[in-house]
């Protein structure tokens, strides 16, 4: 009946979330379970050779097994006992499941044969990690690692797969979730957040110097995260943009050159036209003959008189 009930709990989906395993065979063991998840506590190797045992939580008996049969289980609605391997599974864990657990084993005559204790801690798992980065004026990079959920989170950093050392940092906060990288440190920066029942990480690339025009036309100049390059307009085939002033100057020079060419051609055409007309019509004023060959000179002779 207990086994059937435990199977029904699993099939109904009560056990969701993170599953953890704890070895409770050593006295003083510390076990961890995820809030809303499942924990398997291995109490012993086998129950077949133990006539009777009790499991107590904070001195309150919650489980009683005798002759390899479950006599009662106070949390049977969300737990299951695997008699073959001595494992006690608790589903849908809550904060109230944290506490001290004591396993008492008895011989056939009722004499206590062993007593072992363990501590169970229930923690909320880390659900997600967000990296918030800011590139400073000289190329330094401030990065904050923010985690959602998670009890007692622990932060660790890596750069290109290696543990980030203080030699590459200007500073780090006590909780280790905010760091400032020195200038010109580049690579893949990873922040990992973990606790005893979860481990989540997030990656961020470091800074680079960007000088470009953004999609909305503004200038981007300075140290930016590497992925900020997507904000820039892709370069075209003509890297130098043509401004309106440049366009006006171009057409002015073009018009001036065209006018010079037209005037030159017009002058040449007028000259050739005049020259042709002069040759066909001849000179307008006849030439003055200085010494004609057929000229006759008339000389008047007066008679001489003898006085």
Locate the domains of the chain by residue range: 2-123, 126-206
Alpha-carbon dihedral 8, 11, 12, 16, rounded to 10 degrees: 120
For the chain, state the CA radius of gyration: 52
For the whole prediction, is pTM greater than 0.75?
A: no
pLDDT of residue 295: 47
pLDDT of residue 84: 86
The CA distance from 204 to 118, in Å, is: 40
Which segments of the chain have a pLDDT < 50? 1-15, 236-240, 242, 289, 292, 295-299, 304-307
Length of the chain: 307
pLDDT of residue 257: 78
pLDDT of residue 88: 96
C-beta atoms surrounding 5 within 10 Å: 15
The CATH code of domain 126-206 reads 2.60.40.10
Closest CA to 14 of 81, 84, 80, 113: 80
Q: What are phi and psi of 4, to 5 degrees?
A: -65, -40
pLDDT of residue 71: 94
The CA distance from 164 to 247, in Å, is: 54
Nearest-5° angle of CA 88, CA 34, CA 73? Answer: 30
The answer to whether 144 and 202 have CB atoms below 8 angstroms apart is: no
pLDDT of residue 94: 95
pLDDT of residue 270: 79
Domains 2-123 and 126-206 share a fold: yes
The single-letter DSSP state of residue 240 is S
pLDDT of residue 167: 92
pLDDT of residue 136: 86
**Two tokens, residue 155:** 């932060």
Closest CA to 89 of 159, 14, 184: 14
pLDDT of residue 174: 83
Residue carrying structure tokens 């018009």: 255
pLDDT of residue 230: 61
CATH homologous superfamily of 2-123: Immunoglobulins (2.60.40.10)
Residue carrying structure tokens 């006018």: 259
């Amino acid at each position: 009946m207990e086994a059937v009930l435990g199977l029904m709990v699993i099939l109904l989906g009560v056990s969701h979330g993170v599953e953890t395993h704890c070895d409770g065979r050593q006295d003083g063991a510390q076990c961890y379970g995820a809030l809303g998840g499942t924990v398997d506590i291995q109490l012993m190797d086998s129950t077949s050779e133990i006539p009777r045992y009790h499991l107590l939580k904070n001195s309150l008996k919650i489980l009683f097994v005798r002759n390899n049969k479950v006599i009662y289980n106070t949390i049977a609605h969300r737990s299951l006992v695997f008699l073959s391997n001595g494992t006690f599974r608790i589903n849908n864990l809550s904060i109230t499941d944290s506490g001290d657990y004591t396993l008492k084993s008895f011989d056939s005559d009722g004499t206590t044969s062993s007593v072992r204790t363990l501590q169970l801690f229930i923690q909320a798992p880390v659900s997600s990690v967000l990296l918030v980065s800011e590139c400073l004026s000289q190329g330094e990079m401030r990065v904050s690692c923010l985690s959602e959920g998670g009890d007692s989170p622990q932060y660790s950093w890596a750069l290109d797969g290696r543990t980030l050392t203080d030699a590459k940092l200007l500073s780090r906060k006590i909780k280790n979730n905010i760091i400032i990288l020195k200038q010109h440190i580049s690579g893949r920066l990873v922040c990992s957040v973990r606790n005893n029942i979860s481990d989540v990480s997030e990656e961020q690339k470091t800074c680079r110097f960007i000088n470009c025009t953004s999609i909305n036309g503004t200038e981007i100049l300075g140290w930016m995260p590497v992925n900020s390059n997507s904000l820039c307009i892709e370069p075209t085939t003509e890297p130098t943009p043509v401004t309106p002033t440049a366009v006006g100057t171009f057409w002015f020079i073009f018009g001036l050159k065209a006018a010079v060419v037209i005037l030159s051609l017009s002058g040449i055409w007028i000259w050739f036209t005049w020259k042709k007309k002069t040759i066909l019509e001849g000179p307008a004023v006849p030439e003055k003959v200085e010494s004609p060959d057929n000229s006759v000179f008339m000389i008047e002779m007066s008679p001489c008189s003898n006085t």
